[in-house]
Structure 1
Protein backbone atom coordinates (compact mmCIF):
# COMPACT_ATOMS: atom_id res chain seq x y z
CA UNK A 1 0.00 0.00 0.00
CA UNK A 2 2.85 2.38 0.82
CA UNK A 3 4.42 1.66 -2.58
CA UNK A 4 1.15 2.56 -4.33
CA UNK A 5 0.99 5.85 -2.43
CA UNK A 6 4.58 6.60 -3.41
CA UNK A 7 3.88 5.88 -7.09
CA UNK A 8 0.76 8.07 -6.99
CA UNK A 9 2.71 10.88 -5.33
CA UNK A 10 5.48 10.65 -7.95
CA UNK A 11 2.98 10.71 -10.83
CA UNK A 12 1.23 13.71 -9.29
CA UNK A 13 4.56 15.54 -8.95
CA UNK A 14 5.40 14.80 -12.58
CA UNK A 15 2.07 16.23 -13.71
CA UNK A 16 2.50 19.38 -11.65
CA UNK A 17 6.12 19.96 -12.66
CA UNK A 18 5.69 19.08 -16.36
CA UNK A 19 6.05 22.30 -18.36
CA UNK A 20 3.17 23.43 -20.50
CA UNK A 21 3.80 22.45 -24.08
CA UNK A 22 3.96 25.30 -26.54
CA UNK A 23 3.69 25.16 -30.26
CA UNK A 24 6.14 26.94 -32.49
CA UNK A 25 4.82 29.73 -34.68
CA UNK A 26 4.70 28.86 -38.37
CA UNK A 27 4.74 31.07 -41.45
CA UNK A 28 1.17 29.93 -42.01
CA UNK A 29 0.25 31.47 -38.64
CA UNK A 30 2.01 34.68 -39.59
CA UNK A 31 0.41 35.04 -43.02
CA UNK A 32 -3.06 34.32 -41.66
CA UNK A 33 -2.62 36.98 -38.96
CA UNK A 34 -1.41 39.68 -41.38
CA UNK A 35 -3.74 38.82 -44.27
CA UNK A 36 -5.99 41.73 -43.30
CA UNK A 37 -3.07 44.11 -43.91
CA UNK A 38 -2.43 43.21 -47.55
CA UNK A 39 -4.58 45.89 -49.20
CA UNK A 40 -3.13 48.56 -46.92
CA UNK A 41 0.45 47.41 -47.55
CA UNK A 42 -0.08 47.49 -51.31
CA UNK A 43 -2.22 50.61 -51.69
CA UNK A 44 -1.95 52.68 -48.50
CA UNK A 45 -4.99 54.44 -47.04
CA UNK A 46 -6.52 53.61 -43.69
CA UNK A 47 -5.24 50.61 -41.77
CA UNK A 48 -8.11 48.11 -41.42
CA UNK A 49 -9.12 47.08 -37.90
CA UNK A 50 -8.64 43.43 -38.89
CA UNK A 51 -5.03 44.25 -39.78
CA UNK A 52 -4.28 45.80 -36.39
CA UNK A 53 -6.08 42.96 -34.62
CA UNK A 54 -3.89 40.48 -36.49
CA UNK A 55 -0.70 42.42 -35.70
CA UNK A 56 -1.64 42.54 -32.00
CA UNK A 57 -2.46 38.84 -31.94
CA UNK A 58 0.77 37.93 -33.70
CA UNK A 59 2.79 40.09 -31.31
CA UNK A 60 1.18 38.35 -28.32
CA UNK A 61 1.91 34.92 -29.84
CA UNK A 62 5.60 35.75 -30.34
CA UNK A 63 6.71 35.63 -26.71
CA UNK A 64 10.16 34.10 -27.12
CA UNK A 65 13.22 35.16 -29.11
CA UNK A 66 12.92 32.16 -31.49
CA UNK A 67 9.25 33.01 -32.06
CA UNK A 68 10.07 36.65 -32.85
CA UNK A 69 12.87 35.57 -35.19
CA UNK A 70 10.48 33.21 -36.98
CA UNK A 71 7.86 35.93 -37.33
CA UNK A 72 10.49 38.33 -38.66
CA UNK A 73 11.65 35.82 -41.28
CA UNK A 74 8.11 34.94 -42.31
CA UNK A 75 7.20 38.61 -42.70
CA UNK A 76 10.25 39.12 -44.91
CA UNK A 77 9.39 36.11 -47.05
CA UNK A 78 5.81 37.29 -47.44
CA UNK A 79 6.91 40.85 -48.26
CA UNK A 80 9.19 39.56 -51.03
CA UNK A 81 6.49 37.29 -52.45
CA UNK A 82 3.85 40.04 -52.65
CA UNK A 83 4.63 43.55 -53.84
CA UNK A 84 4.14 45.85 -50.88
CA UNK A 85 5.25 49.36 -50.04
CA UNK A 86 8.07 48.86 -47.54
CA UNK A 87 7.57 52.22 -45.86
CA UNK A 88 3.99 51.24 -45.03
CA UNK A 89 5.18 47.97 -43.45
CA UNK A 90 7.69 49.85 -41.31
CA UNK A 91 5.05 52.23 -39.93
CA UNK A 92 2.38 49.57 -39.40
CA UNK A 93 3.22 48.77 -35.73
CA UNK A 94 2.98 52.46 -34.76
CA UNK A 95 -0.29 52.90 -36.67
CA UNK A 96 -1.70 49.89 -34.81
CA UNK A 97 -0.23 51.03 -31.45
CA UNK A 98 1.75 47.80 -31.14
CA UNK A 99 5.31 47.75 -29.81
CA UNK A 100 7.28 45.33 -31.98
CA UNK A 101 10.94 45.12 -30.89
CA UNK A 102 12.35 45.25 -34.43
CA UNK A 103 11.78 47.13 -37.67
CA UNK A 104 9.47 45.38 -40.13
CA UNK A 105 11.67 45.56 -43.19
CA UNK A 106 13.24 43.25 -45.74
CA UNK A 107 16.61 44.63 -44.59
CA UNK A 108 16.17 43.60 -40.93
CA UNK A 109 18.59 40.87 -39.85
CA UNK A 110 16.14 38.50 -38.19
CA UNK A 111 18.95 36.59 -36.46
CA UNK A 112 19.58 39.72 -34.38
CA UNK A 113 15.97 40.02 -33.25
CA UNK A 114 15.68 39.43 -29.50
Structure 2
Protein backbone atom coordinates (compact mmCIF):
# COMPACT_ATOMS: atom_id res chain seq x y z
CA UNK A 1 0.00 0.00 0.00
CA UNK A 2 1.41 3.36 -1.05
CA UNK A 3 0.73 6.39 1.20
CA UNK A 4 1.01 9.95 -0.08
CA UNK A 5 2.23 12.88 1.96
CA UNK A 6 -1.16 14.60 1.60
CA UNK A 7 -2.84 11.43 2.93
CA UNK A 8 -0.56 11.46 5.97
CA UNK A 9 -1.28 15.16 6.53
CA UNK A 10 -5.04 14.51 6.49
CA UNK A 11 -4.68 11.66 9.01
CA UNK A 12 -2.55 13.86 11.29
CA UNK A 13 -5.03 16.75 11.05
CA UNK A 14 -7.97 14.49 11.95
CA UNK A 15 -6.00 13.05 14.88
CA UNK A 16 -5.08 16.54 16.14
CA UNK A 17 -8.69 17.74 15.93
CA UNK A 18 -9.87 14.65 17.81
CA UNK A 19 -7.35 15.27 20.59
CA UNK A 20 -8.25 18.97 20.75
CA UNK A 21 -11.98 18.20 20.93
CA UNK A 22 -11.38 15.69 23.71
CA UNK A 23 -9.48 18.26 25.78
CA UNK A 24 -12.05 21.06 25.62
CA UNK A 25 -15.24 20.70 27.66
CA UNK A 26 -16.97 23.74 26.16
CA UNK A 27 -18.97 23.44 22.95
CA UNK A 28 -19.91 26.25 20.60
CA UNK A 29 -23.56 25.67 21.43
CA UNK A 30 -22.73 26.31 25.12
CA UNK A 31 -20.96 29.54 24.19
CA UNK A 32 -23.79 30.74 21.97
CA UNK A 33 -26.45 29.84 24.54
CA UNK A 34 -24.64 31.79 27.25
CA UNK A 35 -24.22 34.85 25.04
CA UNK A 36 -27.53 34.87 23.18
CA UNK A 37 -29.07 37.38 25.65
CA UNK A 38 -26.24 39.75 24.66
CA UNK A 39 -27.18 39.95 20.99
CA UNK A 40 -28.98 43.31 21.20
CA UNK A 41 -25.90 44.89 22.81
CA UNK A 42 -23.42 43.15 20.49
CA UNK A 43 -25.36 44.23 17.42
CA UNK A 44 -25.50 47.85 18.58
CA UNK A 45 -29.22 47.83 19.41
CA UNK A 46 -28.72 48.46 23.16
CA UNK A 47 -26.40 50.93 24.87
CA UNK A 48 -25.39 48.59 27.72
CA UNK A 49 -25.60 44.82 28.24
CA UNK A 50 -27.87 45.31 31.25
CA UNK A 51 -30.27 47.41 29.18
CA UNK A 52 -30.68 44.60 26.68
CA UNK A 53 -31.19 41.96 29.38
CA UNK A 54 -29.72 41.20 32.81
CA UNK A 55 -29.23 37.63 31.61
CA UNK A 56 -26.48 38.88 29.29
CA UNK A 57 -23.92 39.49 32.04
CA UNK A 58 -25.07 36.34 33.84
CA UNK A 59 -24.26 34.41 30.66
CA UNK A 60 -20.89 36.16 30.25
CA UNK A 61 -19.95 35.33 33.84
CA UNK A 62 -21.10 31.70 33.42
CA UNK A 63 -19.02 31.35 30.28
CA UNK A 64 -16.00 32.92 31.99
CA UNK A 65 -16.31 30.50 34.91
CA UNK A 66 -16.73 27.48 32.62
CA UNK A 67 -13.64 28.34 30.55
CA UNK A 68 -11.25 27.44 33.35
CA UNK A 69 -8.61 25.55 31.35
CA UNK A 70 -6.44 26.60 28.44
CA UNK A 71 -8.22 24.23 25.97
CA UNK A 72 -11.59 25.58 27.14
CA UNK A 73 -10.47 29.19 26.72
CA UNK A 74 -9.12 28.44 23.25
CA UNK A 75 -12.31 26.59 22.25
CA UNK A 76 -14.37 29.50 23.56
CA UNK A 77 -12.22 31.92 21.58
CA UNK A 78 -12.75 29.94 18.38
CA UNK A 79 -16.51 29.90 18.91
CA UNK A 80 -16.61 33.63 19.67
CA UNK A 81 -14.47 34.40 16.65
CA UNK A 82 -16.82 32.45 14.36
CA UNK A 83 -19.94 33.89 15.99
CA UNK A 84 -18.60 37.44 15.73
CA UNK A 85 -18.89 37.31 11.96
CA UNK A 86 -22.24 35.50 11.93
CA UNK A 87 -24.06 37.92 14.24
CA UNK A 88 -22.51 41.04 12.68
CA UNK A 89 -21.28 42.20 16.07
CA UNK A 90 -20.05 45.74 16.57
CA UNK A 91 -16.34 45.42 17.35
CA UNK A 92 -16.36 47.97 20.17
CA UNK A 93 -19.34 46.26 21.84
CA UNK A 94 -17.67 42.85 21.66
CA UNK A 95 -14.51 44.27 23.20
CA UNK A 96 -16.38 46.18 25.93
CA UNK A 97 -18.70 43.33 26.94
CA UNK A 98 -16.43 41.57 29.49
CA UNK A 99 -15.62 44.86 31.26
CA UNK A 100 -19.25 45.98 31.20
CA UNK A 101 -20.06 42.73 33.00
CA UNK A 102 -17.31 43.22 35.59
CA UNK A 103 -14.73 40.84 34.12
CA UNK A 104 -11.19 41.41 32.94
CA UNK A 105 -9.79 39.40 30.03
CA UNK A 106 -6.18 39.44 28.91
CA UNK A 107 -7.24 39.51 25.24
CA UNK A 108 -9.89 41.00 22.95
CA UNK A 109 -12.00 38.90 20.63
CA UNK A 110 -11.49 40.21 17.12
CA UNK A 111 -12.08 38.64 13.71
CA UNK A 112 -8.35 38.00 13.34
CA UNK A 113 -7.37 36.83 16.84
CA UNK A 114 -5.07 33.79 17.02
CA UNK A 115 -6.92 31.64 19.54
CA UNK A 116 -3.97 29.24 19.84
CA UNK A 117 -2.01 31.98 21.67
CA UNK A 118 -4.55 32.29 24.48
CA UNK A 119 -3.22 30.89 27.73
Query: Which category describes the TM-score, using the shorter chain as reference length?
Result: 0.7 to 0.9
Question: RMSD of aligned C-alpha atoms?
Answer: 1.5
The TM-score, its normalising length taken from structure 1, stands at 0.76
Aligned counterparts of 1:107 and 1:37: Cα–Cα separation in 2:
21
Aligned counterparts of 1:100 and 1:51: Cα–Cα separation in 2:
17
Task: Give structure 2 stretches of 5+ with no counterpart.
Answer: 1-22
Q: Please identify runs of 4+ aligned residues in structure 1 that moved more than 6 A.
A: none
Q: Does structure 1 residue 76 correspond to structure 2 residue 81? A: yes
The match for 1:40 is 41
Q: How many pairs are equivalent?
A: 93
The TM-score, its normalising length taken from structure 2, stands at 0.73
Deviations 1:32-86 (A, max 9, x none): 0000110111124121321111010000000100000000000011111111101
For the Cα contact (< 8 Å) 1:52–1:96, is it kept in 2?
A: yes
The match for 1:109 is 114
